[in-house]
A and B are shown apart, each in its own frame.
Chain A
Amino acid sequence: MSRSKEIILERLKSKIHDANQVDDISINTLNGWSKEEMIQKLSEKLKLSKAETFILPTTKMIDWLNEELPKRGIKNILSGNDIAKEISQSLTNKTKLIKYDNSYESFSEKLFNEIDASITRTVGAIAASGSVVLHPTSDEPRLMSLVPDIHIALVYEDHIYETFDQIISTQNWSENLPTNALLISGPSKTADIEQVLAYGVHGPKELIVLILTS
């Protein structure tokens, strides 16, 4: 044990008085929103933080991509293998599919300078706060949702939770947290200059959430 650790712990343990009385820690209650209400809340909250949301059937996703990506000037899109498998056949040649297929060290220049947009899955979304929840993987690494100017996140309607508490307990996070877990609620922003809101500081300038229904 390091000397400092010893000193610090000794002091903390040698507290002269009893520990503070701790009240019961109450658990937040849920509203029991229906699926439709969840979708509506999520979409409202996301819009408030300047994210765009689209509610569409899963089968129409590819049509949305083919229509919207060229319209938005997105010439290439970064995706993981899983999504690539689903869309590569049907994506028109107006948009090039790029994969994060190397380690960051050899991919970083391309990632920072050549990618227009990224598309990732999510492990769910939180309706109350308007957040999409990501557990990055080797297929969809951490920086995919941060570096490109536009981030498109896919949320399945069945994976919308009311609160952060609920997703943590339902998905049993305390037993299986990934290396990095993220709540994303809108595009990157700042109010550091005279409290004026400005978007797209260091992260994506746009967050687009596709809520996919069955």
Chain B
Amino acid sequence: MLSFFGIELMQQVKPLKFRIDDALSNEQLHTNFRSAMSYLIKKRRNQFPDKEDLKNSRNTSSSIRSNSLAKLPELLIKLEENLEKNNIKVHWAETDEEANNIIYQILKEANAKTVVKGKSMVTEEIELNEFLDNKGIEILETDLGEFLVQLANEKPSHIVMPAIHKSRKEISRVFADHFPEFPYTENVDLITQQARKILRDRFRLADAGISGVNFAVAETGTLCLVENEGNGRMCTTAPPLHIAVTGIEKVVENLSDVPTLLNILTKSATGQEITTYFNMISSPRKNDEKDGPLSMHVVLLDNGRSKIHQNHDMQETLKCIRCGTCINHCPVYTQLGGHAYGTVYPGPIGITLEPQQKGITELGDLTSLCTLCGACGEVCPVQIPLPRLINKLRSETIEGDYMEQFIEGVRSKRKPIESFIWQIWKYIYSHSLLYSIFIKIATTFSFLSPKKIGKWSRYRVTPKPSRHSLKDLARQAGIKNE
């Protein structure tokens, strides 16, 4: 149990269908997400006034990421060599459990009891907080949004804006409940200043800091972190021990790759020209230096990534730089919010990545949280063909074949009745005589078709076969063989 500040962690997981119902009937949630998404979409658009520039920038960024993936094994070896040369210890973790244990061992050996953490989705992915908490290590989120989410005993609902689902009033309440020593306020500046006061000594006295990584540069053995608040710099600079956790795909080959990616990342993520801080760490404190961590570790996490890398049709999933812009532009996410997905990564990238990591049996249904509108693919800064990947994955849930070697549960969502109906459909549509008879029946008896088709027609007009087939209508209009 997370016990500091009186937080107790309880997660109740309802089936997807009910989570969707809950999300759709929550007006407050709707308002919060709709306004937040419009805001982010607009801010991003303002950063890309020139279509041609955006196109070039996306092309270059996409190439950089493809290059990383094409050379992934050699780049990881080079990264490890250069990090070790810089006195940063490297650990490889194949699974989330292994990563957690490695981190725990490092903390234990350093006798670290209190940890401050910078925002990191990969540590959410391995559920590091829960793991360390169970081992009696206090781990505190320090990004304001993450801190609020942790206080409220919830999970982030967006990968860049974790507390986006909460209104100012809700946040004020959470704050007042945990810190009665401060007066209740709904003033954002005041809440921010209270958080500053609360966390300052925590940074100063923490035994260790944990962070994620935005880009790991193989050429120089450098870890790059992007942030606005300064908590990331605090976590990676003040405590005597710094542990960075990163997915193996985050490596880039050269330092010269970084400016392009940084530029498109911040513009896509929050519509900023650049974030307040870009922090490039290449070494722990050297003998002649006065501050910085005394020792540094990097955990390279696989957790399913190497299998995605093997899967040629889905490999581009790994190009992702976690900017969240696909999420911001997704109509399904805007309706549901992040929590309904029940996964660490929501939205288009979430429904692409998560079923590949955790298997289709558990998460295959997520692929239906897509309207196939294509917006995610159009905005992705590294040109991941998300609509195509989602579609591919969706079909794998029913009728895949070779992907079995890479993804668990291929075909596990196949329903015999549904398949049977489609088989008949296919048979009729591929036999012209049968097709003519079928059309004749459908047009003649269209008045017999049901007025309601369950929930589907609750908000939609029920479709009804026309009295005349398209073929007839075309003939009447004088169109022949076109």
Contact = CB atoms under 8 A, between A and B. Distances in A.
Contact of B276 (A14, A143, A185): A185
B288 interface: yes
Given A9-B76, A13-B73, A173 B255 contact: yes
Contacts, number: 254
B161 A192 contact: yes
Q: What secondary structure prevails in chain B residues at the interface with A? A: helix
B231 to A, nearest CB: 4
Given A112-B204, A180-B280, A193-B168, A4 B270 contact: no
Contacts of A142: 233, 237, 289, 291-292
Interface in A186-214: 186-196, 198-204
Interface residues of B, number: 100
Interface string B203-237: 11000000000000001101000001111011001
B228 A12 contact: no
B163 A192 contact: yes
Nearest to A6: B92
A15 B283 CA distance: 33
B188 interface: yes
B94 A8 contact: yes
B389 interface: no
B467 interface: no
A201 B310 contact: no
B67 A192 contact: no
Contacts of A187: 276
Query: Which size class do A's interface residues fall under?
Result: 35 or more
Nearest to A166: B259
Nearest to B278: A183
A200 B192 contact: yes
Q: What secondary structure prevails in chain A residues at the interface with B? A: loop
Contacts of B290: 100, 102-104, 107, 138, 141
Given A2-B92, A11-B307, A173-B255, A200 B193 contact: yes
A103 B281 CA distance: 19
B256 A129 contact: no
5 contacts: A11-B309, A26-B60, A45-B273, A185-B276, A190-B228
Given A182-B280, A185-B274, 12 more contacts: A2-B91, A8-B306, A12-B73, A12-B76, A109-B204, A130-B273, A143-B238, A164-B262, A188-B228, A192-B143, A194-B36, A201-B196
Interface of B: 32, 35-36, 39-40, 56, 59-60, 62-64, 66-67, 69-73, 76-77, 91-94, 98, 142-145, 148, 161-163, 166-168, 171, 188-189, 191-193, 195-196, 199-201, 203-204, 219-220, 222, 228-231, 233-234, 237-238, 240, 248, 254-260, 262-263, 270, 273-286, 288-292, 300, 302, 306-307, 309-310, 312, 315-316
